[in-house]
Structures are given as C-alpha cells and as structure tokens.
Structure 1
Amino acid sequence: MRRRNVQEQQTDILQRERQLAVALRESLAGYESVDIYATPLEQVLTSLDELFLLVIVGEFNSGKSALINALLRAPVLEEGVTPTTAKITKVHYGEQNRRIQLDQDTVEQFYPADFLRNISIVDTPGINAVLREHERMTKDFIPRSDLILFVTSADRSFTESERQFLESIRAWGKKVFIVLNKADLLRTPDEIAEVIAFIDENCKRLLGFKPEIFPVSVLEAQRSHTAIGHEAIRLWESSRIGALEDYLFLKLDEGERARLKLLSPLGVLQKLIAEIKGAVEQRARLLAEDDRTVNAIEGNLQQFRKEMVQNFSHRLGEIENIVLEMGQRGDRFFDDTMRLTRSLELIRADKIRQEFEETVVGDSAARIDGMVRDLTDWLTDQEQRFRQYTLEYVDRRRKESSVRDDQMVGSINRQFDYTRNTLLRAVFEKANELVKSYDRQEEAEVYSKELQKAVVQALLVGAGGLTLGTIGAATAAAVGLTFLDLTGITAGVVVVILGIFIIPARKAAAKRKFDEKMQELRQRLHALMNEQFTKELNGMIQRIYDALAPYIRFVHAEQEKVAGMRQQLASMEAEVLEIKGAIEEM
C-alpha cells in the first residue's frame, strides 16, 4: 500500500515537473533568441520518460569507456590511448550485444547486463580534446543526466580544465561522484589518500561541494577478467571497482534513484529560470534607462509647449495692445473731433478721413504686420532648435547604448539589444532626416500665411456702421498683411460723424459702438491667432512624436513583457521549491 502511495507521489511530481517545463517553454515564446533554451527544455521533458541516466564524463584518455567496460565485465565499448568516443553512446539493457546509430551524434548500445534493467549508462566524448565539437556534445547532454561520474586520472588529477567543466556541471544542479582512475600508478595507500585529499579540498574550496571519491584501477579490473584463481581475486580487489559497484547498484537503491531522478530536472529548470531571470532583470535595467529617456523627451516637449505658449501669449499681447491703443486713440478722436463747434469741418468727409487715418489708424497696420513676421521667425527658429536638440539627445542615447553591446548576458539579451539598437539607429536617422528636411524659409512662409490669415479674419468683422477692412479675407491671405486697409475704417467713421452732426444725441451711443467693435476685434484677434498658433505648435510636437513613436512603443511594449515575465518566473521559482519539498518528504 505504501509502495503504491509512493509511486502515486512520484507520478504526480513527474507530471508537475512536465507542466513546469512546458510552462517555461511557453513563457519564452514572446522573447527573442529562445533557441538556446529549447534544447535543455526538450531534454528535461525527454528525461522524465527515461530510465535513470548515469552519465560518464571526463577528459579524453581518462578511462571513461574502459570504466564502463569494467562495469559491464566485457569489452563492449571501444577503448584507446587517443580519443575514441566521438559520439554520445547510450548503453541500455538488451538480450543481445548490438549497436544502433540513432543520429549523427548519438549511438545506442544494447547489452545483457542485469543492472541495465534499472540504469542506463551514457558514455560521452572526452573534454579538453583537440576536437571542440566533442566537448560541445558532452556539455549539451549534461542536462539529461540524473547522476554524473566524473572520471579523472591519478597522473593529472583536478586540472584547470576539469575544474571549469565540473563548475559547469554543478551549475545544472547535478549530483557528481568523482572516479579517480589509474590509482595503480600511485605506489602506496598514503599517496592515494593524498590525491583524494587534494581533490576533496579543491572541490570544497573552488566548487563549494564535498564529493564522493572512488579511487579505482580499470587496468587491474580488466586484467582480473583474464586471470584465474587467487590472482584474479587479488587484481579485482586491488582495482577497487567493487566499492564503486556496491555504491551504484546497492546503496543507490530504487528509492534513492527515484529521488535523484525527480530532483535532476528541477536543477535544470532552476538554472534556466535563474539565467532567464538575470537576463530579464538586465533587460529591465536597460528599459528603465530607455523609459527615463522617453520621459525626459516627453518632459522636454511639455516644457517646450509651456514656454512656447507663455512666449506666444506675450507676443500676442503686444499685437492686441496695438488694437487697444488704436481704440483709445479712437475714443479721443470722438471727443476731440465730433463737437458742434467743428460743425463746418465735420461735413468735409475727406478731411475727417485723413485726420482719422493719421490720428487713430496711424502705423497700426505696419506694426501688426511686423509683429506677425517676427512671430513667424520666432516659430520657425524654435522648431528648428528643438528638432536639433531632440536629434542630439537621441544620438547620445544611441551611442551610450552601443557601448554596452559586449556587456549583455546571454543570446536572449544580445538579440534584444540588437533589436533595440537597430530601432534607436532608425529613430536617430528619422530625427536626422527631420532636421535636414526642415526648410526654414518654406516653413516661415507657411506660418506667415496662416497667421496673417488669422489676423485678416479678425479684422474683417464687417459689422454695423464700422467696417474694418475693404477687401476679402481670401485676397488678403494671398497678398500678406501689408494689404490691410485699416484706413477703411475712415469711411465708416465719416458716416457716423455726419450722423452725430445731424443728431447730436447719438454721439455717446456711437462711441460705445466703436468701443464694442474694438473689444470684439481684440477678442477675435486673440481667439483666431491663438487657434492658429495652437495648431502650428501641435504640428511641431506631433512631427517629433512621429519620429520617436517606434522607439516609445518598443519601450512600453518591452516593459509590459518584462513585467509579465517577472511574474511568471516568480511563480515558477515557487513551484520548483514546492516540488523539491514534496520530494524530500517522500
């Protein structure tokens, strides 16, 4: 009953591990260059359905294949003093000794050894060999292993290349036993103990773990197979292979193998999650810088808008003051001119017109025209300056970013950085094009026409007896502000004055009417010019936004992806710990 419960627990844990591996694979679907994780994730899923995998690794000529032959008690695998294992060789139980080529890198060897019913042994190409492809195959297979026997040689134990390889193995969370082969080269037990102590100390100091170490002599084990009688027994005992067999096939019982089998994929998943988490955090830091860049540009655009509005308000106020002054002069003109004592003068319309033009209108048209032209120059200058500032800002950001290309961790981030830098270059080129294509003279003409049109529309109010203009707005916009016939006011004023001469009581009402028209003129001038300015300012800012839009969208989209990935990885980390706890409680 208890055995069935344990099996049910194991099945449940295997299912949870499978779901976790699939979830991690799916979570990477939206990320660049995830192929680097595809192989280990597939290996995790494959290993869940395999027998316990005992993987033999080590440098070339350390005796890996010979060790497997010693365990099989037969020369099943090829041996040699030069690298002989060029493929991953999986040794399984089979009724007959036969060999199958699975693919370019993998061979299956079948042999009728009883312990292979529960354990599969994997022979790997030697590391630190001339052919680096052999080392790659071995490293790529490590994630599938459940237990690793690292074979080192007594005549060159714990080399720097071995330390580096052991470090990479441990990173996958694998349990490692060390087999010290060629112990027969050491003359005394004290020498063997000294080498064991050396390996043990360096593993603890440099790699942070205390290994099980088995000194053996594969050569003496092989000799025992051909010797007879007491000599065969002596050679076998001297080889110490028996102690390794006892550990692998007796102490490492079904329950312990099951525990290691269940823990092994978790180590791989934990390493992958940690790597991806590190890459995501690095990406988040870069995006935080990008976000600050975007916020800075948006903040500068807002400040640019604020300063432009304030400056324009001041300039518009100066234009309105011209109209206000004209209205004040008009009031004085009414008071000074339209009196009964000047009745004879008032009937001379041409004299009244001339006096009104000189006294009230004066140089108002020219002053307004000049201010509108100054306003046009100011607008074009400010847009050109801000375009150039934005270009330089983006270019600095692009150059700062490109310096960090070599500091990116992992292919997933290198691809992200490539995409990001490509986009920054494109944005820079778009901004540069925006600056180069800016024709100050052409833009000034456009702004001038639009602003002049707004002024014309304000002045041509055409209400009642006071007509502030004598030609149409369309014609006015075509010829510019200098056309403004503010002297057209004269005709209306003359009519009003003659009416006052006939009916003096209308003087106060006419004066109020004049003041109302001046007030209306100021309001219309303010509204129409402000509307036109707002339109032009929005156009300026929108053109800059359009150039930056791909970069801004990229940053925001990537930030959302990072936030989602963080949440998923945190959940997966918690699931790994929960599964580990369940395994330990079995």
Structure 2
Amino acid sequence: MAKAVLQEQQRLLLQQERQLASVLQGSLAGFEGSDAHATTLRQVLDTLDDLFLLVVVGEFNAGKSASINALLRSEVLAEGVIPTTDQVTVLRYGESQQQRQTEKGLLEISYPADFLHDISIVDTPGVNAVLLEHQRLTEEFVPRSDLILFVTSVDRPFTQSERVFLEHIRTWGKKIIIILNKIDLLRDDDALQQVIAFIREKCKQLLGFEPDIFPVSAYQAEQVHSAVGNQALKLWESSQFGVLEEYLFKTLDATERVRLKLLNPLGVMNRILGETRNAIEERAKLLAEDARTVQTIDEQLQLYHTDMQEDFKHRLGEIENIILEMRTRGDRFFDDTMRLRRVLDLVRGEKIKQEFESEVLSDSAARIDLAVQELIDWMVEQEHRFWQNVMEYLDRRRQVSLQREDRMLGSVGKQFDFNRRTLLQSVSRTVTIVIQGYDQQAEALQLSMDMRNAVAQAALTSAGGLGLGALIVAVMGTLAADVTGIIAGLGLVLLGYGIIPLKRRQAKHTFDDKMTELQTKLSSAMQEQFQKELNHSVQRVQDAIAPYTRFVRAEQQKTTTAQESLAQLNKDLLDLKTQIEAL
C-alpha cells in the first residue's frame, strides 16, 4: 500500500498510529523487553508503506506450500512429507521467477502472478518443526502480518501445538483465516462438516473467536493444471479452492486490505500495551507491599517512641520518689533537731552536718545510682531489641520478596528488580551491622556519662568523677552547710526563745525550695537527655531505611504516572480502532 494511494482520511489515521506508537514506545522505558517491543513497533509501522502482507502458518505437512502453489498456479515452492520450508520465504511480484537470499535470513522469491502486484505472501516453517530457530523466525514475523492464513488438515485438525500457536497469534490482534486442507481424504460432506464444526467449536471455546474456515484440497487444485476438459473442471470444483480465491482476491478488495493494514499496528500496540500494563500492575503490587513494609516500620517506630516515653515517666518517677523521701526525712530532721533541748548540739555545727548527711541523705546516692543505672540499661536494651525486631522483620520481608520475584522473573524489569533488591538488602545489611556492632556496655557507659553531664549542667556544678546519685547527693550536701550556717547564726540563743522556731521555719523553707529546684532540674535534665537519645535512636532507624523509602515513593509516583498514561493510550487506541473499522 503506497502512500500515494492513501486517501486523506487514511493519511490522518496513519499519522495518528505513528503518534500513538511513539507515545507507547516512550512508556516502555525501564520495562522488560522494551527494546524488542520497540523493534517490533518500528517493523510493523514500516510495513504500512509496503504491500498487503499475507502470512501463511501452520504445522509442517499441513499443506502450506501446496496451498501457496495452488494460488500461484505453479509449483514454485518445494513440497514434501518432511519439513521442506526451512526458512521464512517472501513471495513478491517479478517479471520472471527468481530467488535471492537476503541479509536478514529471508528467502525472497519473485514470480509473475498478477495478484502479487497488491499482495505479498510469506511462507513459514512448520510451527511444530524440530528446528526451533525456524519457529522463532515465524513467531517474530507474525506481528508484521496483515492477515494470517492458518493451514491445518483434516487428518490432524486443531492439534495441541496448533492451539498454542493460534493462541499466540490471537494475542497480536490478527485477523485469522483457517484453511482446512486435504478434504479429499474424507469420505463425504458429513465427515467434512463434522471436522469444520469441531474446529469452530474449539476456536470459540478455547480461543474466544469464531473463525472463517475454508475447506480445500490443495492437492486437487494443483492437479487441475495437468488435467484437461471435464476432469479439470471436476478437480477444481472438488478442491473448493475457488471459494478461497474469491475471498482473497475479490472480497478482500483494496478498501478492505487498507482497513486490515491500518488495524494491524493497533493489534500489535494493544498486545504490547497489555503486556506493559501487566508489568506495571505487578510493579505496583510489589511497591504497595514495599510501602506497607516502610509504613509498618514507621508505625513500629512511633509505638516504640510512645512506649519508651510512657515507661520513662514511671522509671523517672522512681528516682523522684527517692528525692521525695529525702525531702520528707529533711522536714522531719529539722523538726527533731532545731529544738531548745538540743541547743548544745545546735551550736556544734559539725555534729549537725553529720547527722544531716546520715539521716537525710542516708543511702540516697546508692539508690539513685542503682535506679539510674537500671533506667540506662533499660534504654539500651530497648533500643537493641528494637533494632533486632527491625532486622527480623526486614529479613522475613526480603525472603518473601525474593520468592515472589523468582516466581515472576522478568515481568517487572531487570533494572527495577535489581535496584529494589539491592536497596532492600542494603537496609537489611545496615541494620545487621548496627546490631553486630552494638556494644551494650559501651552504650550504657556513654549514656550514663551523657546523663550525668546533663544533670551536672542543670545543677550548675561539675560532675567530676562522681556518679549521678553521688552528684545529686553532693548538691544536696550543700544543705548541710546551710543548716550549719543557720545554726551558727543563732548566736546567743538564750537571748530569746523565739529565735529557734523562726530559724527552723527558715531552714525548712530553704530546704524545700532547694529540693523543689533540684527535683525540677533533675527531671528536666534527665527528660531532655532521654528525649535526645530516643530521637537519635529513631533517627538512626529512619536513616537506615531512607534510601529504600525514597526509592519506593519515587517508583510509586512513576508507576502511577505510567498507569495514567497507558490508560489514556488504551482509550486513544480504541477510538482509533473505531475510526478505522468505520472505513
């Protein structure tokens, strides 16, 4: 079909087809087989400028070559009971019969048959031939065809290999004409109708279409040329080949050939579009599972953060209770000590200081240190356990993912598979490295130092080599000096009995203020340091999975865009098909 023959409407349709093919080719980027699809698209579009392409397929010994020879009225192609067509053969018009081997591995034969001015015929190796390379060439040539003549025979109608091959052809959206050859082997017309009904039912049941079936005897049609008179007429009528020729050369007129040729690329594009949409759907499913993986880890991080905060409040409360007990003992100490009956002891400041440290401070330092160490060990253990949980979850997820990918190898794109698997393995490896290098004693020591320094800074004092409990008690120990100072300020206590209750109230008030200040600073400092460590722990997990998270989000966006693009492309293909079928 030369461009000069195309009407303006057909030119516009052809232009639309090329535009849609370009859009489809752009959508294939990153998917398995995109290069092969691009090649197929280019070849199919190139055939729009060629003659109508009639491709003959079928099993060997079904009569493909014989049927073509009958159409040519001459034995141009070799025939036999063993595979004789060992390569794809293209028949074109020529002033004389000649043949040549092309660089593409095709055998081109020119022959002076009038219908070859408008139609090129392709003879293919048998689909069940032992030479798989020939079958591959046949299957590669099918997408370029404008009409398929599928030759089968009455002695072996609709075999398993024929069904599979027909199914393959149908996925390209090709119009298929079935030639039922060797009808001369049947006893009568009833037997023939049974075979035709069988083929039609199987096509409808297994392949979903009702084919045009032309029963012929290629052998009888060929015998016509060596027969004379009534014998020739009887052979021709018995062969029923005239009905097939009527369809190919009259019913299939120029307008119909144009329509089929324009529909041909749409069938190919629809096949490629369907495969691509399936691949994108598989990719979307994988990404949805990946997104759930990321979401699950994120949800676990939030729960971890919340649970740690709640548990920390209780553990901090235990430390605050120790300070509250000191506060209670301090009040009791001042009530019992600062009395007139102990006036002699009161003027001995060192004795009062020792009693204060013994009765008020008591074992608070050891108890605070123990409580703080338990809190730190708990924090370290919880972080370590959380990292282990993340690792175990990722490992299970990775194993499931690998099993799924193995089952659908090649369906979503090698590069996508590689990037996704590499990132998932990288996250799992990062988490494993963290766990293997997680020294709980070192982490606890560092956290203890950080906590002590935070409390020291809040208390505006130097931590030195003191433990946290000792640091707190050291701050509290200044109260003993304060008490001594208050006692020393009594002077001549006998000058007025009212001075002792006044000083007691003053000491208790000072003690309560310092205890409140200490408790507030302690709680604030420890809470701040805890929050800092907790946020750091959460951030480390988020940093570990960040590359995977970014990949999933980016690929989901790409996939959504591709799905929208292909949905629009599918609509455009259907609209264009409607226009072409209306020709």
Pairwise CA distance, 1:217: 2.3
Pairwise CA distance, 1:488: 4.2
Determine if the alignment matches structure 1 residue 491 to structure 2 residue 490: no
1:201 is aligned to: 201
Corresponding letter in the other structure for 1:537:
L
Q: Measure the CA separation in 2 of the matches of 1:133 and 1:5.
A: 37
1:517 is aligned to: 514
147-156 or 399-408, which moves further after superposition? 399-408
Q: Measure the CA separation in 1 of the matches of 2:42 and 2:490.
A: 101
Instruction: Assess, with a 3 A threshold, how the Cα gap between structure 1 residues 354 and 75 changes in structure 2: closer, same or farther.
Output: same
Corresponding letter in the other structure for 1:373:
Q
Pairwise CA distance, 1:513: 4.2
Pairwise CA distance, 1:480: 6.3
Q: Measure the CA separation in 1 of the matches of 2:232 and 2:374.
A: 110
Q: Measure the CA separation in 2 of the matches of 1:519 and 1:33.
A: 73
Structure 1 unmatched ranges of 5 or more = 463-471
Q: Measure the CA separation in 2 of the matches of 1:96 and 1:373.
A: 102
SS in 1 for 2:219: helix
SS in 2 for 1:411: coil
SS in 2 for 1:152: strand
Determine if the alignment matches structure 1 residue 567 to structure 2 residue 573: no
Is the Cα contact below 8 Å between 1:352 and 1:494 reproduced in 2? yes
Corresponding letter in the other structure for 2:552:
V
1:318 is aligned to: 318
Corresponding letter in the other structure for 1:490:
A
Corresponding letter in the other structure for 2:441:
Q
1:76 is aligned to: 76
1:466 is aligned to: none
1:248 is aligned to: 248
Is the Cα contact below 8 Å between 1:184 and 1:217 reproduced in 2? yes
Structure 2 unmatched ranges of 5 or more = 494-498
Q: Measure the CA separation in 2 of the matches of 1:55 and 1:32.
A: 28
338-347 or 574-583, which moves further after superposition? 338-347
Pairwise CA distance, 1:167: 1.6
Is the Cα contact below 8 Å between 1:54 and 1:149 reproduced in 2? yes
1:66 is aligned to: 66
1:24 is aligned to: 24
Instruction: Assess, with a 3 A threshold, how the Cα gap between structure 1 residues 348 and 6 changes in structure 2: closer, same or farther.
Output: same
Q: Measure the CA separation in 1 of the matches of 2:395 and 2:175.
A: 50
Q: How does 1:72-221 map to 2 (within 5 A)?
A: 72-221=72-221
SS in 1 for 2:180: strand
Pairwise CA distance, 1:450: 1.5
357-366 or 76-85, which moves further after superposition? 76-85
Pairwise CA distance, 1:400: 2.8
Q: How does 1:511-550 map to 2 (within 5 A)?
A: 511-550=508-547
Corresponding letter in the other structure for 1:577:
L
Q: Deviations over 1:18-73 (max 9, x none)?
A: 22122122112133553453343333333333332111100112222232232223
Pairwise CA distance, 1:275: 2.5
Instruction: Assess, with a 3 A threshold, how the Cα gap between structure 1 residues 62 and 321 changes in structure 2: closer, same or farther.
Output: same
1:402 is aligned to: 402
Q: Measure the CA separation in 2 of the matches of 1:97 and 1:495.
A: 129
Q: Measure the CA separation in 1 of the matches of 2:397 and 2:506.
A: 66
Is the Cα contact below 8 Å between 2:479 and 2:511 reproduced in 1? no
401-410 or 550-559, which moves further after superposition? 401-410
Is the Cα contact below 8 Å between 1:279 and 1:409 reproduced in 2? no
180-189 or 335-344, which moves further after superposition? 335-344
SS in 1 for 2:126: coil
Is the Cα contact below 8 Å between 1:453 and 1:476 reproduced in 2? no
Q: How does 1:283-362 map to 2 (within 5 A)?
A: 283-338=283-338, 342-362=342-362
2:549 is aligned to: 552
Q: Measure the CA separation in 2 of the matches of 1:145 and 1:502.
A: 123
Q: Deviations over 1:278-310 (max 9, x none)?
A: 332233233323322322221111111111011
Q: CA RMSD in A?
A: 3.0
SS in 1 for 2:49: coil
Q: Measure the CA separation in 2 of the matches of 1:20 and 1:432.
A: 49
Determine if the alignment matches structure 1 residue 476 to structure 2 residue 475: no
Is the Cα contact below 8 Å between 2:31 and 2:413 reproduced in 1? no
2:496 is aligned to: none
Pairwise CA distance, 1:335: 4.7
Q: Deviations over 1:253-287 (max 9, x none)?
A: 11111221122222222222223223322332333
Pairwise CA distance, 1:81: 3.0
SS in 2 for 1:571: helix
Is the Cα contact below 8 Å between 1:66 and 1:79 reproduced in 2? yes
173-182 or 272-281, which moves further after superposition? 272-281
2:279 is aligned to: 279
Pairwise CA distance, 1:176: 0.6
Is the Cα contact below 8 Å between 2:282 and 2:412 reproduced in 1? no
Is the Cα contact below 8 Å between 1:154 and 1:195 reproduced in 2? yes
521-530 or 419-428, which moves further after superposition? 419-428
Determine if the alignment matches structure 1 residue 577 to structure 2 residue 574: yes
Corresponding letter in the other structure for 1:436:
Q
Determine if the alignment matches structure 1 residue 54 to structure 2 residue 54: yes
Q: Measure the CA separation in 2 of the matches of 1:189 and 1:380.
A: 90
Is the Cα contact below 8 Å between 2:182 and 2:219 reproduced in 1? yes
Q: Measure the CA separation in 2 of the matches of 1:509 and 1:87.
A: 113
Is the Cα contact below 8 Å between 1:327 and 1:518 reproduced in 2? yes
Q: Measure the CA separation in 2 of the matches of 1:211 and 1:409.
A: 35
2:225 is aligned to: 225
Is the Cα contact below 8 Å between 2:56 and 2:121 reproduced in 1? yes
Q: Measure the CA separation in 2 of the matches of 1:452 and 1:128.
A: 83
1:269 is aligned to: 269
Corresponding letter in the other structure for 2:174:
K
Q: Measure the CA separation in 2 of the matches of 1:382 and 1:502.
A: 60
Pairwise CA distance, 1:97: 3.6
2:460 is aligned to: 461
SS in 2 for 1:393: helix
Instruction: Assess, with a 3 A threshold, how the Cα gap between structure 1 residues 501 and 105 changes in structure 2: closer, same or farther.
Output: farther
323-332 or 391-400, which moves further after superposition? 323-332
Is the Cα contact below 8 Å between 1:32 and 1:416 reproduced in 2? no
Q: Measure the CA separation in 1 of the matches of 2:390 and 2:521.
A: 35
Corresponding letter in the other structure for 1:487:
G
Q: Deviations over 1:439-465 (max 9, x none)?
A: 22222222222222223333x436xxx
SS in 1 for 2:80: coil
Is the Cα contact below 8 Å between 2:280 and 2:412 reproduced in 1? no
SS in 2 for 1:177: strand
SS in 2 for 1:404: helix
Is the Cα contact below 8 Å between 2:372 and 2:468 reproduced in 1? no
Q: Deviations over 1:141-184 (max 9, x none)?
A: 22211110001123222212111211221222211111122223
Q: Measure the CA separation in 1 of the matches of 2:33 and 2:483.
A: 80
Q: Measure the CA separation in 2 of the matches of 1:415 and 1:518.
A: 65
Is the Cα contact below 8 Å between 1:500 and 1:507 reproduced in 2? no
Q: Measure the CA separation in 1 of the matches of 2:371 and 2:51.
A: 89
| Corresponding pairs, count | 572
Q: Measure the CA separation in 1 of the matches of 2:114 and 2:581.
A: 29
Instruction: Assess, with a 3 A threshold, how the Cα gap between structure 1 residues 44 and 337 changes in structure 2: closer, same or farther.
Output: farther
Corresponding letter in the other structure for 1:549:
A
Q: Measure the CA separation in 2 of the matches of 1:414 and 1:496.
A: 83
Pairwise CA distance, 1:567: 0.9
Is the Cα contact below 8 Å between 1:499 and 1:506 reproduced in 2? no
2:431 is aligned to: 431
Pairwise CA distance, 1:109: 3.1
